[in-house]
Structure 1
Amino acid sequence: MNSFDLIVVGGGPAGIFTAITAAENNLKVALLEKNKRIGNKILIAGSGKCNLTHTGATKEFLEKYGANGKFLKESLNKYSPEKFIEFFKKNGLPLILVEESGKYFPETFSSLDVVNLLKLKLEKLKVTIVHNVKIENISKDGDEFIINTENETYICDKVAIATGGKSYPGVGTTGDGYIMAKELGHKIVPPAPALAPIFVKDYMFEELSGISFQDTKITIWKDNKKVIQNKGAVLLTHTNFSGPGILDNSRYIENGSSLEINYIGKDYEFLNREIIDEMNLDGKKTVKKVLGQYFLPERFIRRILTAAEVAEDLKLAQLSKEKREILVKLLTSNKMEISKVGSFETAMVTKGGVALEEVNSKTMESKKVPGLYLVGEILDVDGDTGGYNIQAACSMGVLAGKSMKRGKEK
């Protein structure tokens, strides 16, 4: 009989840390993974270099998860980034901080090393790892859960569903956990891509792929109301806007949203006044030369001039008020209608998932089904780029594992 105290469904960061912590708490644990190996999502983190967490205090972390960040207060307080960093140090793979980005990576910059370490840790704790397992259904009979797979039936006192969301389906995150949670009585907030590029109508930077702007003001609008405004890096690609600042704001986009970007770091009135002053000082300067003083890429300046229908050799004295205002507006408040957000294939995480009001944030246990725990990206909470999502997943896993008490002997 495949009988355990706890069965963890899903071998990503949340599932692995749930299993490790529960096993350290003397529970008999099995980890069921649909893929041929655990840690597939970890392997692609940070483009294979494995950005695991970020510098900053817990309070700063909570601000990185949007409106639902408060749900993570208990898990991040109980298992902080400092404790996460210490875990890897104690287990022989120290993390190093890349100062300019605030990101922590393993000293080898290898996600494979991280997965191998975690697998070894699970094995030392005698966690049973079952790969290539397809779960058909999970049900509860009295105090026990019954998990039916294609080939086996498992019995356990507790179940932790940690199957992730729907982003990067190529690594196995195809939304299976939503079906399991729904069948067990949970409400699912409709999943949508997050940390994804933003597409706009009449995108005009097709030829400028690779140009980026740092510390750029980004605003999302909806029905002429400001939804969110912050700063971050923006990358121009052949087809869309990307970069950390864009990705982090993608969670706020709904149908009918607009994107506004300030490329120059000055507001409309200030830049307009500076150009007028420059014209009064030396009207023979070309408009292109003046814009070059703001350290904008030359290809970008040319494209903006074209969009404003201003010739490259036009003198400041010849620049009409109408053209000047169009040019200044393009640079300081380029507002564009959003056509779509990148698909689940390109999104780093999923927004939406199991409704948070149905899960105890102090234990990660379901409020509807005793003994059922829901951890990680399956929940309706998602973070910014930079290691915040892996940290949250692992912190939730540790909190769940510590909250579990051993049931009857097997």
Structure 2
Amino acid sequence: MNNFDLIVVGGGPGGIFTAITAAERGFKVALLEKNKRIGNKILIAGSGKCNLTHTGKPKEFFDKYGKNGKFLKDSLNRYSPEMLKNFFRENGLPLVLVEETGKYFPETFSSLDVVELLKKKMLSLNIEIMVSTKIEKIQKKLGIFSIFTDRGVYNCDNLVLATGGKSYPEVGTTGDGYVIAKEFGHKIIPPKPALTPIYVRDYIFQELSGISFQNVRVAIWRENKKIIEKNGAVLLTHTNFSGPAILDNSRFVENGSQLEINYVGKEYVDLNKELIEETNRNGKKTIKKFLAQYFLPERFVKTILSVVNVDGELKLAELSREKRESLIKLLTSNRMEITKVGGFEVAMVTRGGVSLDEVNSKTLESKKLERLYLVGEILDIDGDTGGYNIQAACSMGVLAGKSMGRKERE
């Protein structure tokens, strides 16, 4: 029989946790996935090591999702990071904390082990997993959803869309869910790439690919207003800025945005004062030696000095005021015009999606159509790097799975 209490469309973390939660409540559940296997997005998470969540209590998570973080209040409170860790420990794959990053990974550091565990769990709950299943259309009549696929028609009382966004289309997240949601009357906030590298005009670090900074200040400006500021690691590549602090800030880039980086963690006025005081104490010290105390990469210092046309062997006392100010400004507030961010092919998540105004945050049920639920990246919510997006998807899945009702069958 192709009749179910719940059908989940999409085999990512949100869909899987919805299916598991509902099945544990006694629901007859099927999960439809168009790819040849479930968990494709999980497999590439954390470069194959699968960063599942992060340290911190639920209330510390909310601001990691920008202005929409409050939408996740019920999801994260009902299924916290601690509960997710307990789930994996109880199912034989404890998570371990990487202290310096605050990230949690499976103890084997293998995404494949995570997917295998989740698949085993679903099969133990008699969830019917149907991979390589292409959906042709979905309709609802007389309170029943009918999902027409290339393998037949499946009916259900509750339907969950957990199809993801558009990031990493090679793993199958190509925005299919937006089409379905729109047909059911939902507004779609235009999807954009998020958690991507940032490209700037007149990039000056082409020859410094591979150089990284562990804790620098990164900000996004627009119309002379600071939009967001975060501290973290920055990586220089041949063509752009990358690294966690850049990826997180990329979520806030719009047309006309500027990227500002402070490489030394000091304000302009403070570094200027330190340089002047050192000049008065020891004017014979070279510029290069003065900068060495800030632990900047040698090749980076050489490039910065070249940009402001200052010889590193020049003595502090010989440095003109104009050159000093240019150097300090470049080190403390290097502001650059952003030309673009990386595309969907490199974006870790998607900004935009189904409008949150049309989804009940306490249940994840659609306000447009009864018994339709939406979880995960299909919604207009996205978080920082570090496990925040997978945690949100899992928490939303659990909330949806606990919220839906089950019809009595004759």
Q: TM-score normalised to the size of structure 2?
A: 0.99
Shift of 1:286: 1.3
| Counterpart code for 2:289 | K
* 1:50 aligned residue: 50
1:333 and 2:337 are equivalent in the alignment? no
Cα distance in structure 2, aligned partners of 1:8 and 1:145 = 12
* 1:104 aligned residue: 104
Cα distance in structure 1, aligned partners of 2:47 and 2:9 = 25
1:28-71 alpha-carbon deviations (Å, 9 max, x no partner): 11000000000001111111111100110111111111100000
Cα distance in structure 2, aligned partners of 1:142 and 1:108 = 48
* 1:275 aligned residue: 275
1:150-186 alpha-carbon deviations (Å, 9 max, x no partner): 2311111111000000001111001000001001110
* 2:138 aligned residue: 138
| Counterpart code for 2:104 | Y
| Counterpart code for 2:141 | D
1:177-202 alpha-carbon deviations (Å, 9 max, x no partner): 00010011100000001111111000
Q: How do residues 53-68 of structure 1 correspond to structure 2 at under 5 angstroms? A: 53-68=53-68
* 1:308 aligned residue: 308
* 1:376 aligned residue: 376
**SS of equivalent to 1:305:** helix
Tell whether the 8 Å contact from 1:26 to 1:406 is kept in structure 2 after alignment. no
Tell whether the 8 Å contact from 1:164 to 1:378 is kept in structure 2 after alignment. yes
**SS of equivalent to 1:335:** strand
Cα distance in structure 2, aligned partners of 1:228 and 1:19 = 36
**SS of equivalent to 2:351:** strand
Cα distance in structure 1, aligned partners of 2:404 and 2:360 = 13
* 1:184 aligned residue: 184
Cα distance in structure 1, aligned partners of 2:39 and 2:372 = 22
| Counterpart code for 2:175 | G
Cα distance in structure 2, aligned partners of 1:402 and 1:230 = 35
1:250 and 2:250 are equivalent in the alignment? yes
Shift of 1:288: 1.2
Shift of 1:21: 0.4
Shift of 1:103: 0.8
Shift of 1:386: 0.6
Cα distance in structure 2, aligned partners of 1:230 and 1:98 = 20
Cα distance in structure 2, aligned partners of 1:407 and 1:229 = 49
Cα distance in structure 1, aligned partners of 2:77 and 2:211 = 39
1:307-351 alpha-carbon deviations (Å, 9 max, x no partner): 101112211111110010000000000000000011111110001
* 2:324 aligned residue: 324
Cα distance in structure 2, aligned partners of 1:383 and 1:303 = 34
Tell whether the 8 Å contact from 1:52 to 1:103 is kept in structure 2 after alignment. yes
Q: How do residues 153-232 of structure 1 correspond to structure 2 at under 5 angstroms? A: 153-232=153-232
**SS of equivalent to 1:395:** helix
Q: How do residues 53-92 of structure 1 correspond to structure 2 at under 5 angstroms? A: 53-92=53-92
Unaligned segments of structure 1, at least 5 residues: none
* 1:7 aligned residue: 7
Cα distance in structure 1, aligned partners of 2:409 and 2:26 = 11
Aligned residue pairs total: 410
* 1:389 aligned residue: 389
**SS of equivalent to 2:31:** strand
Cα distance in structure 2, aligned partners of 1:25 and 1:109 = 31
1:115-153 alpha-carbon deviations (Å, 9 max, x no partner): 000000100100011010111111111201111112311
1:347 and 2:331 are equivalent in the alignment? no
Cα distance in structure 2, aligned partners of 1:173 and 1:261 = 32
Tell whether the 8 Å contact from 1:217 to 1:265 is kept in structure 2 after alignment. yes
Cα distance in structure 2, aligned partners of 1:392 and 1:15 = 12
Cα distance in structure 2, aligned partners of 1:329 and 1:273 = 13
Shift of 1:215: 2.1
Cα distance in structure 1, aligned partners of 2:379 and 2:216 = 30
Cα distance in structure 2, aligned partners of 1:180 and 1:173 = 14
* 1:116 aligned residue: 116
Shift of 1:214: 2.1
**SS of equivalent to 1:35:** coil
| Counterpart code for 2:287 | V
Cα distance in structure 1, aligned partners of 2:178 and 2:163 = 9
* 1:39 aligned residue: 39
| Counterpart code for 1:358 | E
Shift of 1:305: 0.1
Tell whether the 8 Å contact from 1:160 to 1:373 is kept in structure 2 after alignment. yes
Q: TM-score normalised to the size of structure 1?
A: 0.99
* 1:295 aligned residue: 295
1:182-240 alpha-carbon deviations (Å, 9 max, x no partner): 01110000000111111100011111111111221111111111111221111111111
Between the aligned residues of both structures, percent identity stands at: 71
**SS of equivalent to 2:310:** coil
Cα distance in structure 1, aligned partners of 2:138 and 2:307 = 57
| Counterpart code for 1:160 | V
Cα distance in structure 1, aligned partners of 2:174 and 2:282 = 61
Tell whether the 8 Å contact from 1:210 to 1:237 is kept in structure 2 after alignment. yes
Shift of 1:282: 1.5
**SS of equivalent to 2:398:** helix
Cα distance in structure 2, aligned partners of 1:12 and 1:151 = 21
Shift of 1:76: 0.2
| Counterpart code for 2:7 | I
